Structure 1
Amino acid sequence: MTGVAGAAPGGAAPGVPLSPMDDYPVHQIAEVIRHVGTSDRNFYDRYYFNCAPRLDGEGPAGADAPFLLIIGMGQYPNLGTADAFAVLRRGDDHLVVRASKALGEDRMDTAVGPLRIEVIEGLRRLRVVLEPSPDNPDLSFDLTFTADAPAHLETRHFDRSLGRVTFDTQRFVQTGTWSGSITVAQQTVPVTDAGWAGNRDRSWGVRPVGEAEPPGRRAEPAETERACFFWIYAVLRFSEFVIITILQEDADGARIVEDAVRLWRAPGRAPEPLALPEHSLRFVPGGREVAGAELTFQRRDGAGGLGEPLRIECTPSVAGYIGVGTGYGLEQDWRHGMWQGPLAVQQLRRAVPEIAPWERMLCPVDNIAWCELTEGGRTESGEGLFECAVIGAYPRYGFHGLGDVAE
């Protein structure tokens, strides 16, 4: 018996952009899954992970130096591309593996060259693999993330610039532990749940990606002089809970996005919203890297008012320069979503002291930080991610233009 003329037995008819995911009841619009609900070129769908030895435990064998691995993978349906990166900070070594490919029909294909992500159990366990190859001889890994707290759906991030929507994104974040191994320059480091931790997120929506667009009016001095990207993203782990804080402000300190919550590890305990998050930052002289930060929050009392404040002091320990070589916009020849051909895989290596101050200033820095929480007369130590960027004018901290640095 023959099939329908022009059809591919066991698959889709030629020219029809079906994929295996279309067999699941997950459609949100009257389109196949590979077509998203907007034609905006800047639509993206992304994974992010960080993995590091616990600061209060033993690091990699024989290593007293900083060690932090950050991994990302994104799909850009309206640009027809997908890309991925891994960036390792080990001592003064900044090692990047990055890959880009043409996006195929199957959105469930989360492999880009040698790097792939496997969802073992949604919102619980994921596997991240970087296979060794001639294009990335110095870094490979096979790691499994296991959640140790619920996933938190963050406040939707929405912003306009000169009338155009520049950000319209949704994201969830989750903390967990890591197991497996990382191989660096043929030396394998065992990774155990007891000694390694981090957080991961999934985000999707619209934000600037791909080849740079003509700036138009945005290049006018009146626009550039007040341009600002002030950003704090903290995911701080304590023994019984996680505190997550997101703040984006304009040059005048007005909030563009704000979210602060305490997630309890104990099953069934509801998240606790934290009110009025505020920041006080201290900077390393000669740049804008954070030397220390205090975050303060107000708790709600049982009567609907505000109770005693909660304070967290953060001290960065390991800095990961996530923007250098990975596609976040510093290098004009490799940006997230940019067309690099059907498949491209590259390895880059730099010495951390050689990363220029302007490079460190123009992208967020992912810090693994010690933190001390003070609440109701008691203190508790913790650790986690303190990601921060102060780009452009932000007069509150003495930055009146793009090139100003801390004294």
Structure 2
Amino acid sequence: MTLSPMDDYPIHQVAEVIRHVQTSDRNFYDRYYFNCHGPSADLPWLIIGLGVYPNLGVADCFAVVRHHDEHIVVRASRALGADRSDLRIGPFTIEILEGLHRLRVALDRGHGDLAFDLVFDAAGPAVLEPRHFQRQIERVFFDTQRFVQTGTWRGALTVDGESFEVTGPDWRGNRDRSWGVRPVGEAEPPGRKADANVSGTFFWIYSVMRFADFSIVVVVQETETGERVMDDARRVWDDPDREPEWLGHVAHDISFVPGTRDVAAATLRFTRPTGVVTTVACRPQLANHLAFGTGYGLEPDWRHGMWQGELKVEDLHLKVSELDPTMKMFCVTDHLTQFVATIDDAAVSGDGLFEFAAIGPHEQYGFTDYTDTA
């Protein structure tokens, strides 16, 4: 059993060294997510992720940027060492400058058509979301915890040979940290699920909206019939002394681009038991199809947590207009979005993330099969 520098801190949760988690479930993970955007959809829409998989012995990361018709990915994977504070994977670095306040993310030049050195400065407090728990045929499928935080970015970004000076507050975004159990690594044999008619529907809305002095965070997951696995909407004030405010139960009305499941527009309504309603009009400006090339499951040879060897670094440069339209229906898409919220009888404008997936059948929108379109 190997010690690491983290073992010198009084943070142990079980009778193990800090790098060993309580569960032996192969699907345990611990992940960072960041997004970064400028004041216009003409500027790059960057997403970064880094994950650690203690029971698979792997750490990996990716960066994916959408700029005009360009879809550029750099990804890396390495064997997981004993020191969990070492957040370097090949040319990637995440550095915690001040916990829950400032973090640095960097990708060295010379690895594809993307490079950056950026610092995230929190605009408001980090807030825990409701725990995400779901079983499939008795087995725990999801058991995760996540916190989210909005902020501004500063530093340098180079995309396809073009350099951008990133200066807050015009460059903004959100970041999250999640950990727990979710499907990762090499695909497992389906076992009983192959004969049990288990619905593979994954209907998902995750939105982080940034306004002048608060954010709204929405998370919805539904089954094929619309039964809720997750249902939460909260206003998070920049002022850390103000408690987050629950806005009510979520209803959604999605408009799709005809012939696809791509979101054209959406309206979200949050209703409290008192009958008070908050409405948000969502107008996506730019889609980042982050599942293409990043490990979210579309490519069988590169999935989050999959063993790639001691160190492997790859890059991809694709055209958004040439992405397989059928495969787009099997992944989550992150939209840079403009929002208009009507709250307390006043309309306020903001921007941020509208993450969406409608994978599989869904009664509300008339999808009876996996490849049905609007």
2:261 corresponds to = 288
2:63 corresponds to = 86
Map Cα deviations across residues 263-305 of structure 1 (whole Å, 9 max, x no partner). Answer: 1112411111111111111111111111111111124xxxxx5
2:364 corresponds to = 396
1:266 corresponds to = 239
Please tell me whether residue 119 in structure 1 is matched to residue 96 in structure 2. yes
Work out which of the residue numbers 20, 28, 31 in structure 2 matches 1:43.
28
1:325 corresponds to = 293
TM-score, structure 2 normalization: 0.98
Question: What amino acid sits opposite 2:213 in the alignment?
Answer: E
Distance across 2 between alignment mates of 1:246 and 1:194 = 26
Map Cα deviations across residues 26-83 of structure 1 (whole Å, 9 max, x no partner). Answer: 100000011001000000000000000024xxxxxxxx73520000000000000000
Contact 1:82 / 1:103 at 8 angstroms: preserved in 2? yes
Map Cα deviations across residues 139-194 of structure 1 (whole Å, 9 max, x no partner). Answer: 11000000001111000000000110010000000000000010123332100012
TM-score, structure 1 normalization: 0.90
Map Cα deviations across residues 321-344 of structure 1 (whole Å, 9 max, x no partner). Answer: 110000000000000000000000
Contact 1:142 / 1:182 at 8 angstroms: preserved in 2? yes
1:64-213 aligned within 5 A: 65=42, 67-133=44-110, 136-213=111-188
Work out which of the residue numbers 228, 245, 266 in structure 1 matches 2:218.
245
Work out which of the residue numbers 323, 326, 329 in structure 2 matches 1:355.
323
Contact 1:249 / 1:256 at 8 angstroms: preserved in 2? yes
2:227 corresponds to = 254
Cα offset for 1:219?
A: 2.6
Change (3 A) 1:267 1:216: closer
SS at match of 2:357: strand
Distance across 1 between alignment mates of 2:327 and 2:207 = 22
Distance across 2 between alignment mates of 1:137 and 1:321 = 18
> Which 4+ residue blocks in structure 1 deviate beyond 4 angstroms?
none
Change (3 A) 1:389 1:137: closer
Cα offset for 1:257?
A: 1.6
1:5 corresponds to = none
Contact 1:67 / 1:318 at 8 angstroms: preserved in 2? no
Change (3 A) 1:227 1:267: closer
Percent identity for Structure 1 against Structure 2: 55
SS at match of 1:293: strand
Distance across 1 between alignment mates of 2:112 and 2:362 = 42
Q: How many residues align?
A: 374
Please tell me whether residue 369 in structure 1 is matched to residue 342 in structure 2. no
Contact 1:308 / 1:375 at 8 angstroms: preserved in 2? no
Distance across 2 between alignment mates of 1:268 and 1:144 = 25
Distance across 2 between alignment mates of 1:258 and 1:372 = 21
1:302 corresponds to = none
1:26 corresponds to = 11
Map Cα deviations across residues 234-282 of structure 1 (whole Å, 9 max, x no partner). Answer: 0001112100000001111111122211011124111111111111111
Change (3 A) 1:314 1:128: same
SS at match of 2:197: helix
Cα offset for 1:221?
A: 7.6
Distance across 1 between alignment mates of 2:30 and 2:289 = 22
Q: CA RMSD in A?
A: 1.2
Contact 2:234 / 2:247 at 8 angstroms: preserved in 1? yes
Greater Cα radius of gyration, structure 1 or 2: 1
Question: What amino acid sits opposite 1:323 in the alignment?
Answer: A
Cα offset for 1:137?
A: 3.6
Distance across 2 between alignment mates of 1:372 and 1:169 = 30
Cα offset for 1:216?
A: 2.0
Contact 2:341 / 2:349 at 8 angstroms: preserved in 1? yes
SS at match of 1:306: coil
Distance across 2 between alignment mates of 1:218 and 1:181 = 47
Q: Which structure 2 segments of 5+ residues have no match?
A: none
SS at match of 2:47: strand
SS at match of 1:396: coil
Distance across 1 between alignment mates of 2:124 and 2:31 = 21
